[in-house]
Amino acid sequence: MADALRLYALLIWTWIRAAAQFPVSMVLLGLASAAVAALDMVGIMLLFAHTPRIAGFTAPEVLFLYGTSAMSFVVADVLLGGTERLGEHVRQGTLDTMLVRPVSPLIQIATEDFSPRRMAKLLPPVVVLAFVLPRLPADWTAGRVVMVPVMLVSGTVIFAALWVLTASVQFVVIDVHAATKSVTYGGAFLTQYPMSLYARDFVRGMTFTIPLAFVNWQPALYVLDRPDPLGLPAALRFAAPAVAVALCAVAALAWRAGLRHYRSTGS
Amino acid sequence: MSVYPWVAAYAFRRHATYWLGAVAEAVTNTMFGFVRAWIVLALWGARPALGGYDAADAVTFCFLTQALIGPVQVFGGLELTQRIRSGDVAIDLHRPVDLQGWWLADDLGRAGAALLLRGALPTLAGALAFDLRLPGPAGWAAFAVAVVLAVVTGFGLRYLVALAMFWLHDDRGLQAVALVASMFFSGMLLPLVAFPGWLGTLAQALPWAALIQVPADVLLGRYQGAELAAAYGFQALWAVVLLGAGRALTAAARRRLVIHGG
Amino acid sequence: MIEVTDIHKTFTVRTRTGRLRRRRTTVRAVDGISFTVAPGEFVGYLGPNGAGKSTTIKMLTGILSPGSGTVRVAGLDPSRRRTALARRIGVVFGQRTTLWWDLPLRDSLTLIRHLYRVEAGAHRRRLAELTELLDLGPFLSTPVRQLSLGQRMRGDLAAALLHDPPILVLDEPTIGLDVVSKATVRGFLERVNTERGTTILLTTHDLGDIERLCRRVMIIDHGRLAYDGDLDRLRAAVAADRVLVVDLERPAPPVRLAGVVVERVEGPRQWLRVPREMNAAAVVAALADRYPIADIALREPGIEEVVTRLYRDGGRVTA
């Protein structure tokens, strides 16, 4: 594991060095990516241009959800978003060249074409969080203060696991890849808003089937001291780390199964 | 027979072949449609007559937007870009066919396939789950005209972006800027009628309004008679302006290719 | 070094029969192949497209797990010990690069050093050596995407050999290369084999590669080994005819000689097909008796012809 991390860092460092040879282009591309990433935030601000509350939540509260969700998603995307292109590697046969190297193909795919400009997408959520955290109407007990980094880390791990999980599907069927974006990109979008907006059954699904509610919604209920609109047990607010670990295990199993399938069928 | 209908038919078949991938896209489009519908329902719950829409109008707008992502290709991109990057475009320019006409025909065929494969699912799912404001046959016919004009306008925009590749070494920055403009000004975030003040006025005058906002308003029956003609006129005007600019740029690209040898 | 015992691999292929309907068919890509490659051997692996060459290579390198049978490469079971095996073999795919498209070649090779955990000093020596042998110097700082196919292949060869593997597996390394690049690649492979004693398995469509490099040839057809042995015996076994090229002193009508067929006439030059069972010396003597001859040459059949004949006859050769 430590070895994998060391290699990962090394691969990324090589990419950053390569990109840094064209610094102006790197900065401009970074800003363009940041602008794309900021669109979701602009959407939220447009809503609040018309109303002070949405589904009972104020602008700082929704921006808090946006900031935590986007930050977790971008970090996960930077680390493992490359797995989205697994299908292309299968189709072009480049996965084979990864399989003859003594390093997990997961690490190789994740770092393939790594670009530092993807990190520029962190800009909007970081700015939003820096702005909004001091303005939250929260009672900042030690527990709530600790919960913020905890939710960011578990959110990142959940999104990372979802990247691997959805990529694993591409070992078996490539064509349906676009549908799995509803879980990754869709998950990133829907966690930017309070789940009290959505239909109750949908939220139940997002809690117990695809655990997107644990990216930030459940922990945020604790930070903001809100009742759960579905009346779910309060213990769920602290379950995010456990959910993240469990989802990782599922993703690892899926990846292994997918790789085994690929290696037995070669397609 | 002219070659263009054939190009369009061939593009339609080519894109229809990958139906499974397109339907998978439609699943994601539908899922986004639901989330966005719930968001606008909350907004219109707080502001019931915002921008002259009622809640049903706003929800219909959301699903319509998702249905049109594929056909008008809101996220940008044209296969021509790759051909310019690889230099294959030189072959296209030597064909006795108009480059812009060829690709417009190709794009119309692609849009036709996308409308069937990616438009139906969001619309149907939305209609089943929510109370959508859908018109009668005359309304659909009026909508069809607006969609064709939207596709042509969208092509005009994407063709300009693609041709810029003749002058750029790296088009990723331009693609990103084009994406931001397209997402923001076409109404992907919120219906343009709900944009506040001058921003709304500006957004409704720009070509991106012709992609989704105008077809949506036609479907919602907000235009009748002369107003409908004016809406078509707005789309057609932008289509003509953009296609004209595309022609000028094509000529410039051709000169550049002759001088620099590609 | 490589031991393969009775391996099989079948694939299920779905073919479109209608707009939505598909039919499943089972294809036996590899259907009972066994062979052994000793250390230091240079073996050519031939076969028409779809014969099972790539499938075999994938099973040897651990990409694919065999349906049945056993594989041992460098003492390891490739499908179970894929990553351990990766450190002991070098693999080159002619059709796709293992280098990173956007990185300069030097950076790609540095990454490979880390992937294989080659110690820095050893890497420096090895890189210097490979740079010289493959003449990489002029394009070490060029991004891979800007390299010509020949340069890229040289870079790929260096990448495959940086960790100094005892076994090198090459899947069509000369495909699409120009004549000069082909010669460089062949010369390099020959040196690697003779000087370092690296065991090499080479699949190719280019029979020139085989004639130049391999003493031993394996031919696969329909998933089975049709031939395994040395090149000369293959020629003899397939009994391909030889061709006698005769330059007469002046243009003449086709010569008449029992058992010999004149294939082509071009001015004073004539091409005569001599069946394998006829004694070539006797034919030459009989010819010289009756015609004024300026020059004469006997051409052994090219391997191309041998292989075409082998495929056409569909027969197996025992050597």
Query: Cα angle vertex A121, ends A119, A125, to 5°?
Result: 115
pLDDT at residue A256 tops 50? yes
Do C278 and C145 fall into the same domain?
Answer: no
pLDDT at residue C16, rounded to an integer: 67
Tens-place pLDDT, residues B99-156: 999 999 999 999 999 999 999 999 999 999 999 999 999 999 999 999 999 999 999 9
Asked if B46 lies within 8 A of A29 by C-beta distance, the reply is no
Average pLDDT over residues C72-95: 91
C188-192, C232-236, C312-316: the lowest-pLDDT one: C312-316
Q: Which of C236, C258, C274 is the last residue of a domain?
A: C236
Structure tokens at C87: 């450190």
Q: Which of chain A's residues have a Cβ under 8 Å away from the Cβ of B69?
A: none
Quote the number of domains for chain C.
2
| Maximum mean pLDDT: which of A134-143, C108-117, C208-217 | A134-143
Average pLDDT over residues C61-86: 91
Asked if A102 lies within 8 A of C62 by C-beta distance, the reply is no
* Torsion sign (Cα): C308, C310, C311, C314: positive
pLDDT at residue C303, rounded to an integer: 65
Q: Provide the residue type at C110 as one letter.
A: T
Q: Write out the residue range of the structural domain in which residue C130 sits.
A: 2-236
Residue A179 contacts B where some CB pair is shorter than 8 Å? yes
Rounded to the nearest angstrom, the minimum Cα separation between B63 and chain A is 15
Residue of chain A minimizing CA distance to B51? A50
Task: Using pLDDT thresholds of 50, 70 and 90, give the confidence band for residue C319.
Answer: very low
Average pLDDT over residues A98-122: 85
Residues 6+ apart with CB under 8 A from C145: C101, C102
Contact assessment for residue C231 and residue C215, using Cβ atoms and an 8 Å cutoff: yes
pLDDT at residue C318, rounded to an integer: 47
Do C231 and C254 fall into the same domain?
Answer: no
Do C209 and C256 fall into the same domain?
Answer: no
pLDDT at residue B217 tops 80? yes
- Does residue C144 sit within a domain? yes
Q: Which of chain A's residues have a Cβ under 8 Å away from the Cβ of B25?
A: 178-179
Tens-place pLDDT, residues A49-74: 999 999 999 999 999 999 999 999 99
Average pLDDT over residues A119-135: 94
Average pLDDT over residues C158-187: 91
pLDDT at residue B262, rounded to an integer: 46
- Does residue C308 sit within a domain? no
CATH classification of the domain holding C14: 3.40.50.300
Asked if A182 lies within 8 A of B25 by C-beta distance, the reply is no
Tens-place pLDDT, residues B222-232: 999 999 999 99
Structure tokens at C15: 């073919």
Do C192 and C257 fall into the same domain?
Answer: no
- Does residue C84 sit within a domain? yes
Do C208 and C250 fall into the same domain?
Answer: no
Do C265 and C252 fall into the same domain?
Answer: yes
Percentage with pLDDT > 70 across chain B? 98
pLDDT at residue C40 tops 60? yes
- Does residue C311 sit within a domain? no
pLDDT at residue A217, rounded to an integer: 97
- Does residue C224 sit within a domain? yes
Of A10, A113, A263, the CB nearest to C65: A263
pLDDT at residue B38 tops 70? yes
Tens-place pLDDT, residues C269-306: 888 888 777 787 888 888 888 888 888 887 766 666 67
Give the position of tokens 């004016």.
Answer: B230
If contacts are CB pairs under 8 Å, which of residues 90-119 in chain C contact chain A? 91, 93, 95-98, 100-104, 107, 110-111, 114-117
Q: How far apart are CA B151 and CA B191, in angstroms?
A: 19
Q: How far apart are CA A51 and CA A46, in angstroms?
A: 9
Q: Which of chain C's residues have a Cβ under 8 Å away from the Cβ of A97?
A: 91, 93, 96-98
Structure tokens at B255: 């000169």
Task: Using pLDDT thresholds of 50, 70 and 90, give the confidence band for residue A31.
Answer: confident
Do C209 and C248 fall into the same domain?
Answer: no
Residue B227 backbone phi and psi in degrees, to 5: -65, -40
pLDDT at residue C240, rounded to an integer: 64
Tens-place pLDDT, residues C223-247: 888 888 888 777 776 666 778 888 8
3-state secondary structure of C223: coil
What global pTM score does this model have? 0.87
Average pLDDT over residues B50-72: 95
Do C155 and C191 fall into the same domain?
Answer: yes
pLDDT at residue B57, rounded to an integer: 96
Task: Using pLDDT thresholds of 50, 70 and 90, give the confidence band for residue B66.
Answer: very high
Residues 6+ apart with CB under 8 A from C20: none
Residue B251 contacts A where some CB pair is shorter than 8 Å? no
pLDDT at residue B261 tops 60? no
Q: Which of chain C's residues have a Cβ under 8 Å away from the Cβ of A25?
A: none
The residue ranges of every structural domain in chain B are: 3-260
Rounded to the nearest angstrom, the minimum Cα separation between C302 and chain A is 33
Average pLDDT, chain A: 91
Average pLDDT over residues A182-187: 95
The residue ranges of every structural domain in chain A are: 2-265
Do C223 and C293 fall into the same domain?
Answer: no
Rounded to the nearest angstrom, the minimum Cα separation between C98 and chain A is 6
Average pLDDT over residues B193-211: 94
pLDDT at residue C316, rounded to an integer: 53
Do C219 and C271 fall into the same domain?
Answer: no
User: C14 vs B179, which has greater pLDDT?
Assistant: B179
Of C64, C79, C96, the CB nearest to A97: C96
Task: Using pLDDT thresholds of 50, 70 and 90, give the confidence band for residue A267.
Answer: low
